[in-house]
A and B are shown apart, each in its own frame.
Chain A
């Protein structure tokens, strides 16, 4: 199958750099998510891999083979578009068969393979329908079947789930994951939805302003964000800024925090996830945990969890607690917040 390597790619539109010296490798059979806010260059990277655009400098390799000057139609890439881009003038069958017809396969084989693909996406029997006669979820399945039926070297998905409502989206995520495992195709998935990226992918790459900020397995990215941006873009985080003092971080008010690893002299910032922060009971012993004291300003009830906003040094810290039915802290109460050193992650600002 296919390993895709992006090596030092820069893409310039006019005077604007959409991507700057970006290198990343997509492993064979992996499910890779490119995550970033709009304008971060994730879609540009996808279009470069697809062959709709060409890098201004740098190289893109499929299994070590240089793709320079090879346009999309010669790259063997399956692509699914945000709009699905189903051909409105063709039936579902003709849409799915398109890539096979173009490759001039015998009619009998086309029929078998289209039937297989439609079965894979659970749309058997829909072959005569027109795209406008399908629901949003069905259209998306057709688009997926169409993108994989000709066994492309890589499957590219451009925000494929963003047009669906939430319930449908969750269903499709499971479905997409199943199909990707069945087919075993290298898959690159562009999204701005961090939850989707974490749920679906084996590896996630976070992009910002045309650069790859961090990449790795979802758990590592969430637990050990390297930068303040990753920490706040992937989920929520409370950021503390201070100065390094003997491996610890001294906050402006004098509090000393013990981070996950000894702080180097240059370290100034650490991030703490709201759900890793506990509100201590009045006499509770924090043990080895970091402790700060603040005043609860607001309690937000969200069903399975409770969100607290705690005023500390003129800032608002977020604390999330599982709703266990017990009486928690009330607004106006002064509380002690505790978090373990391993959850106090040093990040670049």
Chain B
């Protein structure tokens, strides 16, 4: 291996040989499928089994003509916003304690514990909540044990159950991104602020929050996007109340077999996410 060099003769072949296979794979398995999906979204029916679809905007029009899809989209956006909100409220203080209040070997161990669920099986973690939340489940029995009486929790198969499950799934993302940016804030800055008489709240508001904004935003994006596209979590924890844009898209592919509509809804979903980020960027930009 040698240090990075500029344009030696014959290196084009080496570059092609090294990057070619990986990018060919990415093209076949990601880029072409997404392009094909985009193409399908403009067809009247999927060009499969001898059928030929015709060019149409009907799939996109359906979204705007049938209020049902719009309502679901808004419901999904609201779900995304709520999950992001709770992840931030729960995760930021946690990252703060980890980054600035715990030191040494303890910090390393606790940090690992927090992100351990980060990669572990998402499906299984969602499933584990069913036992907690269902009627006469662990949570209800625990509450009953503390406050005996006829207190019914029964939030399984509700919107709230979906929020709890998703917050549980994505909380480590927020903790991780906030932790990374908080760790980069030097202790000197905090001590300088203290020497000038700043209270903890002032330090949080004027130094820690502004300086960890990139991490917070990264967490927001990392959570918001997959939550909008989630379908497994609402199906398991939401039951009949778990209908969101993600589950409708899934239905188009696995139950209704209206692929062009599913494709169009997917791109509308991506578009909505894009619009939300563009708007929030505008709002943030105006503030400072």
Point out residues on A near B: beta carbons under 8 Å: 50-52, 71-79, 81-83, 85, 87-90, 98-99, 102-103, 146-147, 150, 152, 156
Contact = CB atoms under 8 A, between A and B. Distances in A.
A87 B195 CA distance: 13
A50 B197 CA distance: 11
A89 B202 CA distance: 14
A150 B194 contact: no
A150 to B, nearest CB: 6
B207 A87 contact: yes
A99 B197 contact: yes
Interface string B196-229: 1111001000110011000000000000000000
7 contacts: A71-B194, A72-B195, A78-B196, A79-B192, A82-B188, A83-B186, A89-B211
B193 interface: yes
Question: Which of B189, B194, B198, B210 is most buried by chain A, counting CB atoms within 10 A of its CB?
Answer: B194
Contact of A150 (B188, B193, B197, B211): B197
* A75, A85, A146, A147 pick with most chain B CB within 10 angstroms: A85
Given A88-B211, A99-B197, 13 more contacts: A52-B191, A52-B194, A71-B194, A72-B191, A72-B195, A73-B195, A77-B195, A78-B195, A83-B186, A83-B188, A85-B191, A89-B211, A152-B195
B184 to A, nearest CB: 10
Contacts of A152: 195
A83 B207 CA distance: 16
B196 A150 contact: yes
A88 B186 CA distance: 11
A98 B188 contact: no
A87 B190 CA distance: 9
Contacts of B211: 88-89
Nearest to B211: A89
A76 B198 CA distance: 10
A85 B199 contact: no
Given A77-B195, A99-B197, A102-B196, A87 B202 contact: no
Nearest to B185: A88
A81 B188 contact: yes
B195 A50 contact: yes
A81 B192 contact: yes
Contacts of B192: 79, 81, 85, 87, 146
A16 B199 CA distance: 31
Interface centre among B191, B192, B195, B210 (most CB of A within 10 A): B195
Contacts of B193: 87, 98
A146 B188 contact: no
B194 A87 contact: no
Contacts of B202: 102
Given A85-B189, A87-B207, A79 B198 contact: no
A71 B191 CA distance: 11
Contacts of A79: 191-192, 195
Given A87-B207, A89-B207, A89-B211, A73 B197 contact: yes
Contacts of A90: 206
* CB-based closest 6 A-B pairs: A99-B196, A85-B188, A85-B192, A79-B195, A72-B194, A89-B210
Contacts of A147: 195-196
Contacts of A76: 197
B198 A81 contact: no
Contacts of A102: 196-199, 202
